[in-house]
Chains A and B, each alone.
Chain A
Amino acid sequence: MPLLEVQDIHVAYGELEVVRGVSFTVERGEIVTILGSNGAGKTTTLRSIVGLLRSTNGDIRFDGKSIRNAAAHEIANLGLALVPEGRQLFPEHTVRENLELGAYRRLRSGKRSEFVDSLDEIFELFPRVRERLEQPAGLLSGGEQQMVAIARALVSRPQLLLLDEPSLGLAPIMVRSIFDAFVKLKSRGLTILLVEQMAWLGLEICDRAHVLEGGTLALSGTARELAYNPRVIEAYLGTAL
């Protein structure tokens, strides 16, 4: 059974349907990438998986259980963590407080020591986060904010990590270290659903990928298949190389 199963979802803003019958699966332990240009419906797809938007059709199953009508906090507590587009930290909370909120459920059930353990794992992955711990998150640089946003998702110990364009607006060196972290996380068994506009970045680290165009999946395949697909090269890789 796949960890995540998205079946024929349709999502609309008012009358305008922007996701039109998207289906795909994510197996345990793999990285799946969704590519697509601006406005293709990537963010909308992710937001409907985590319960911030509702699909009018189809079903979304996590670990075999339907989450289509579940509230965002219930879905989060099942083990899905989204790193939203544009990072979306709580700017007036300190970095530590942002991380505490990421671990909200565990801290509420009194598991402070588990939280301290996962902080150590975070510092190993992103050493710079430790230095910024007591600063308001809004004062950090874009790259540091992205690290904290990923850290905030990780301290919930998710089964599935969803990332919405984590490379957006970051310096190449920062992008490198963040994508290296994804590979490390995968080797530790984490399942990742990555949304990227930068096709070569996404294809480099993923097992399978889908191309979203105008709200439907235009192409699907392994990373290798898509990287050599003439259409992908022309539309998504060509300009960048």
Chain B
Amino acid sequence: MYFFLQITLSGIATGAIYGLIAVGYSLTFMTTKVLNFALGMWVMLGGMLTYSLHVEYGLNPLFVLPIVTLVLFALGVVAERFSVFPFLRAGSDVWVMSTLAVGFLMIDLAEIIWGRNPTPVPPFIGKDAIYIGQVSILPQQLLIILVACVMFLALDVFYRRTLLGKAFRAVAHSGDVSGLMGINTRRIQALSYAMASALAGIAGFLVVPLTLAEPQMGTVLGLKAFAIAIIAGLAAPRGILICGLMYGAFEALVSGYLYTGIRDILGFSLMILALFLKPEGVFGRRQEERV
């Protein structure tokens, strides 16, 4: 039992990261049906920036976080403007390629700037595990779970309570009708892309002490988060957190009790199965039109 709880808990911490990245896919999908397929590379960029600011320049993580968030947000605006918007405007699907191209470019640049060697980043708050009975958790893992939950709560409040959030949901339903309301749908497209980039950056900031800082650190994270977004439903941000946490626990249990090699096979099979059984996602609802 102790072993089970221990594994589940650390799995949940990883799952919180997955959830945070996964909700980024949903942000852009809901407003424009666009997916930034390279979101994992944006996670990497957040992680590498954190490494530079925190390890190389010795900046306090409390300052690193807002800097990483703002830089990634700004880069998100630029990337959307030049790699997504031109194709959207022309009504083409080439953004699928161009988002990936930007991601590979980011990996190449990261290798030039930081090199390929994985470098450890010390945890932000204490190295010693916290014990709850016999079960232990690293302060960094606790921080991840906490921040992820706060981000999701904030996102929920944004969607449900703020005018801009309501406009996001309106654009998700119909860009044309939103335009009739005086909503600048173009601005909301760009904003959602930048917000997704910033979220990925925050995920990178949080996760880099657990992984190592290296240009490939985000690639697999991004793919798994994508699977989770698909399983939960791209239009169901609330479900994505739950799904992320469950997926993290599931993965940890599989590698704990079975073996690590089949972990990802099971995970991605689950995604394909979910696509077959419920294309709109476990938490997604089919769009129904009432006349």
Contacts and interface: CB of A to CB of B under 8 A. Distances in A.
Interface of A: 50-52, 71-73, 76-77, 81-82, 84, 86, 88, 90-93, 97, 100-102, 104-105, 107-108, 138, 142, 152, 156, 169
B180 A84 contact: yes
B163 A107 contact: yes
Judged by DSSP, the binding face of B is helix
Interface of B: 163, 166-167, 169-170, 173-174, 176-186, 288-291
B177 A76 contact: no
B173 A92 contact: yes
Contacts, number: 70
B169 A92 contact: yes
A104 B181 CA distance: 7
A90 B180 contact: no
Contacts of A71: 179, 184, 186
A164 to B, nearest CB: 11
Contacts of B167: 101, 104
20 contacts: A50-B180, A52-B176, A71-B179, A72-B176, A73-B181, A73-B185, A76-B179, A76-B182, A81-B180, A90-B169, A90-B170, A90-B177, A91-B288, A91-B289, A93-B170, A93-B173, A100-B163, A100-B166, A104-B183, A152-B181
B179 A93 contact: no
A235 to B, nearest CB: 27
Given A92-B169, A169-B291, A108 B181 contact: no
Given A101-B166, A104-B163, A108-B163, A91 B182 contact: no
Nearest to B166: A97
Contacts of A88: 174, 177
Contacts of B180: 50, 52, 72, 76, 81-82, 84
Contacts of B290: 91, 138
Contacts of B163: 100, 104, 107-108
A102 B166 contact: no
Contacts of B289: 91
A73 B177 contact: no
Q: Which 3 A-B pairs have CB atoms at the shortest separation, nearest pair first?
A: A72-B179, A76-B182, A105-B182
Contacts of B186: 71
Contact of A93 (B169, B176, B182): B169
A159 B109 CA distance: 53
B184 A73 contact: yes
A51 B184 CA distance: 13
B255 to A, nearest CB: 39
B181 A91 contact: no
Contacts of B166: 93, 97, 100-101
A51 B169 contact: no
Contacts of A108: 163
Contacts of B178: 73, 101
A84 B179 CA distance: 12
A51 B174 contact: no
Given A71-B179, A73-B185, A76-B181, 11 more contacts: A50-B180, A51-B179, A52-B176, A73-B181, A84-B180, A92-B173, A101-B178, A101-B183, A105-B182, A108-B163, A156-B182
Residue from A88, A90, A142 whose CB has the most chain B CB atoms within 10 Å = A90
A77 B173 contact: no
B179 A52 contact: yes
Contact of A73 (B169, B174, B182, B291): B182
A86 B179 CA distance: 17
Nearest to A141: B290
A241 B163 CA distance: 47
B237 to A, nearest CB: 13
Contact of B177 (A84, A100, A138, A169): A84
A78 B157 CA distance: 31
Contacts of A82: 180
Contacts of A76: 179-182
A82 B180 CA distance: 7
B251 to A, nearest CB: 32
A206 B107 CA distance: 65
B239 to A, nearest CB: 15
B173 A91 contact: yes
Residue from A72, A93, A100 whose CB has the most chain B CB atoms within 10 Å = A72
B222 to A, nearest CB: 29
Contacts of A107: 163
B182 A104 contact: yes
Contacts of A169: 291
B29 to A, nearest CB: 16
Nearest to B177: A88
Nearest to A108: B163
A109 B164 CA distance: 12
Nearest to A82: B180
Residue from B169, B179, B186 whose CB has the most chain A CB atoms within 10 Å = B179
